[in-house]
Amino acid sequence: MNSFARPLAYIDNDRSQWLRPADEARNGVQQQHLSDWCIFPRTLANRLFVLHRYQSDAFSLGLLLAQSVRAYSDELFLNGPLFTPDEVQVLNQNLAFVVDIISRCIEERGQERVLIPEPWGSEFALNSAALDRIFQPFASRRAP
């Protein structure tokens, strides 16, 4: 068990919204003190960096989410589509926003003080070469 004892903030998926970017939202991510605390789970941060690095018109976090819910027909939802192209764009902008916060924190405070071991004990040993191999199929689809 990890003995890391600092405050942790968790994303509340029940309150997620994809209507406007986080940096435009009133009481948005900036108000959550992410940039004040500058503490992020290492594996999660690395995954966000990889998703952002390989983001293109053909591959992105938003597109992955849209593709994963595509199996559910829009006719099943009375309030409209489950995840729209506009929401794909907002999620991608939010990813860039969070990655920028993490990057600035690392630049200001150093990686060892910002990226902490996951307190839930499920880290995966992936180095950058392994991550490059995982995402290699998407590299050919990257936008110029």
Which pLDDT belongs to residue 22? 78
Which residues of the chain are under the pLDDT cut of 70?
1-17, 25-32, 73-74, 119-144
The mean of the pLDDT values for the chain is: 75
Rounded CA-CA distance 1/122 in Å is 10
pLDDT in tens, 13-30: 555 667 788 777 655 544
CB contact at 8 A, 82 and 69: yes
User: What is the predicted pLDDT for the residue at 72?
Assistant: 76
State how far the Cα of 132 lies from the Cα of 144, in Å rounded to an integer: 18
Q: Identify the pLDDT of residue 99.
A: 94
Residue-wise pLDDT for 40-55, tens only, equals 989 889 999 999 999 9
Phi and psi, residue 34, nearest 5°: -60, -40
pLDDT at 142: 44
Q: Is residue 108 part of a domain?
A: yes
Q: Which amino acid is at 108?
A: E
Q: Which domain holds residue 111?
A: 33-139
User: What pLDDT does 74 receive?
Assistant: 66
Q: Is the Cβ–Cβ distance between 42 and 117 less than 8 Å?
A: yes
Residue 11, in any domain of the structure: no
Q: Are 72 and 42 in contact (CB under 8 A)?
A: no
DSSP 34-68: HHHH--EEHHHHHHHHHHHHT--SS--HHHHHHHH
**What's the domain count of the chain?**
1
